[in-house]
Amino acid sequence: FESKLIDSNLLWTAYNASSFNNSIEAFLLRAIEYSKNKHKRHFRNYEDLTTKEYSTVKKILSPKIGDRNHNASVNTLEWLGIHNIEILEGLYKNQRILIEGPPGSGKTTLAKAFIDKKKKKKGIYLCWNNLLMHFTKSLLDERKLSSNIEVTTFFRFFQRLNPEIDYGKLSRLSEDEFYHLVKETISRLEQENRLIPYDFIIIDEAQDLFDKGLDLFINSFSGYNGKGLLNGNSLILYDIDQSYSNSGRNVSELADLISEYYSHFKLNEVKRSIQNPDIRKLSAEILDDPKVFSSEDFEGSYSNITVVNHKDLHSVKKHIVKTILTPIRETDSSLKGNDCVILIESTFLKGGYKGNEDLRELLIIKDIEELTESNVGDTANKLRYTSVLKFKGLEKKNVYLVISEPSELNKYEMFVGITRAMLNVEINIVA
């Protein structure tokens, strides 16, 4: 019966196992080779799988199932510091999620929850800048989630794939030029059979990447058959208000186009600034009226926000030492260095201010240091400073903002700087 219906060369039995040293792997390899040769007689030839095809088949045959047990989610909730299991469950029921929300609405918290359920899968977390990248790495290291997740920036990712282009040149490319670079890079990787999609993708601060080929990246580096927007697994976080709207880019339109492929959630409640609602109120008003600080009723409208005027950068230095650094140094003070950050308008860090003053040089003081990739995750009792835009995506309890006279030119930096504060913000204006 068996000899008539089943080819013995394709049948694993106790009888023929000894011929393969009891190795099922050796038997399967022999069976595959036997089948290929048999089909050749009928002019049916099958090429070997490409690396990309092999990866796709492997994922289908060896799925890694996330734990949906609510008991396991309790630990996730403790790590995130939130108490709403329904929000997390919403993440797990959708493969592609687009979350829009203002600073402090909990977007990054939801990204952490997303990662926590995919710790056994291979993913990539794209950050907007280097400080955010290193801070995110430190968070994932604490949670022991970094082994399978690549944390990088969009620029670094494509520089690695195009080593002949230095980072400076890459960062100067226009939106259209970067889009074409992404397109050409993907095409080259496909031709060289080196494009292997990730199991999942997270993109933070995506509003600044929508017009730089983000759709091409998602399509090719997630899902299968180059249709990641349709069948991939990705989470996109963005806030239209934080995009460079003054440049005339159609960011909002691009976000709407991408949302056609995603479950789109909009977070309206600001959780970060709940103890100081003036922060969100002021940040919204700044975009419409950057000179709001000079209004007669500012103090009455924003009683919880301090504004200090300075005649020059030396005055700023004295103020920082007296009112911020000294309390931090006192052993019985509740003000801690790792709860504070000084965010400085880029104008004051380039040595081009009045008389070539540079606040970076003025702040060469003990216990004050520049925030860098190496110290962004530590908790030392030091007062740190950086530029406003480098701190984009991060947050601190207390933010001390140093800006020039408010105008249309610096309103974006003011908006980003103010919204980095969790509890308190002090605005220092230099004449």
Q: DSSP letter string over 267-281?
A: -----TTTT-THHHH
Whether 106 and 211 map to the same domain: the answer is yes
11 and 160 assigned to the same domain: no
Same domain, 141 and 121: yes
* CA nearest to 359, candidates 328, 419, 318, 398: 318
Smallest CA-to-CA distance from 337 within 380, 371, 372 is with 380
Whether residue 353 is found in the same domain as residue 331:
yes
Predicted confidence (pLDDT) per residue in 99-139, tens digit? 888 777 778 778 888 888 887 899 999 998 899 899 888 88
CB distance 427 to 401 below 8 Å: yes
CATH number at residue 126: 3.40.50.300
Judge whether 56 lies within some domain.
Answer: no
Residues 171 and 236 in one domain: yes
Among 105-119, 233-247, 291-305, 349-363, the range scoring the smallest mean pLDDT is 233-247
Residue 321 lies in a domain: yes
**259 and 282 share a domain?**
no
pLDDT averaged over every residue in the chain:
83
Question: Per the domain annotation, does 60 fall within a domain?
Answer: no
Other Cβ atoms less than 10 A from the Cβ of 202: the count is 27
Share of the chain above pLDDT 70, in %: 85
Residue 57 lies in a domain: no
Query: Which domain-ending residue is among 223, 244, 266?
Result: 266
| Stretch among 16-25, 366-375, 395-404 having the lowest mean pLDDT | 16-25
What is the DSSP-derived secondary structure letter of residue 223? Answer: S
At residue 138, the pLDDT reads: 87
Q: Which residue has the tokens 């186009």?
A: 257
**Pick from 244, 218, 245, 217: which is nearest to 230 by CA?**
218
User: Do 150 and 285 have their domain in common?
Assistant: no
* 77 token code pair: 């909730």
Q: Are residues 109 and 208 in the same domain?
A: yes
Contact 317, 323 (CB under 8 A): no
Stronger pLDDT, 422 or 195, i.e. the higher one: 195
Tokens of 239: 């806030």
Instruction: Give domain status of residue 202, yes or no.
Output: yes
Write the burial class of residue 301 (CB in 10 Å: 0-12 exposed, 13-18 middle, 19+ buried). middle
Per-residue pLDDT at 375 exceeds 50: yes
Q: State the CATH number of the domain containing residue 357.
A: 3.40.50
- Domain endpoint, select from 266, 290, 322: 266
CA dist 421 and 396 (Å) reads 5
pLDDT above 80: residue 301: yes
Residue 430 has pLDDT above 60, yes or no: yes
Number of Cβ within 10 Å of residue 379's Cβ equals 10
Tokens matching residue 303: 């009683």
Q: pLDDT, tens digit, for every residue of 3-49?
A: 455 677 888 888 888 888 889 889 998 888 888 887 777 666 667 77
pTM: 0.70
pLDDT digit string, tens, across residues 60-76: 777 655 543 333 344 55
Domain count, the chain: 3
What is the pLDDT averaged over residues 384-404? Answer: 92
Residue 59 domain flag: no
pLDDT at residue 89, as a whole number? 64
Task: With CA atoms as reference, report the closest residue to 99 among 275, 237, 208, 222.
Answer: 237
| Sheet with 340-344, edge to edge strand ranges | 306-310, 421-430, 396-404, 340-344, 383-387, 368-370
Which H or E run contains 189? helix 175-191
User: What domain range includes position 34?
Assistant: 2-46
Using CA atoms, how far apart are residues 258 and 247, in angstroms rounded to an integer?
A: 21
Token duo for residue 266: 């909009």
Edge-to-edge strand ranges of the sheet holding 263-266: 149-153, 123-127, 200-203, 234-238, 96-100, 263-266
pLDDT of residue 271: 55
pLDDT at 354 over 80: no
Residue 156 has pLDDT above 50, yes or no: yes
| pLDDT reported for residue 6 | 66
Backbone angles phi, psi at 272, to 5 degrees: -65, -40
**Confidence bin at 192 (pLDDT 50/70/90):** very high
From 10, 30, 46, give the residue that closes a domain: 46
Residues 243 and 371 in one domain: no
Shared-domain flag, residues 228 and 327? no
Return the beta strands (E) in 216-357 as ranges: 234-238, 263-266, 306-310, 340-344
On whether residue 313 sits in a domain, the answer given is yes
Q: How many residues does the chain have?
A: 431
| Domain shared by 37 and 103, yes or no | no
d(CA 104, CA 274): 9
Q: How sure is the predictor about 303, in pLDDT bands with cuts at 50, 70 and 90? A: confident
* Bridge partner list, 288: none
Q: Which helix (H) or strand (E) holds 201?
A: strand 200-203
Residue 168 structure tokens: 């400076």
Query: Of 239, 169, 180, nearest to 208 (Cα)?
Result: 239
* Residue with the two structure tokens 């701190």: 391
Residue 273 — pLDDT band, cuts 50, 70, 90?
A: very low
Structure tokens at 256: 């709407």
Q: Tell me whether residue 271 is in a domain.
A: no
* Shared-domain flag, residues 290 and 260: no
The pLDDT, as a whole number, for residue 2 is: 46
CA distance 421 to 419: 5
* pLDDT-wise least confident of 246-255, 356-365, 407-416: 246-255
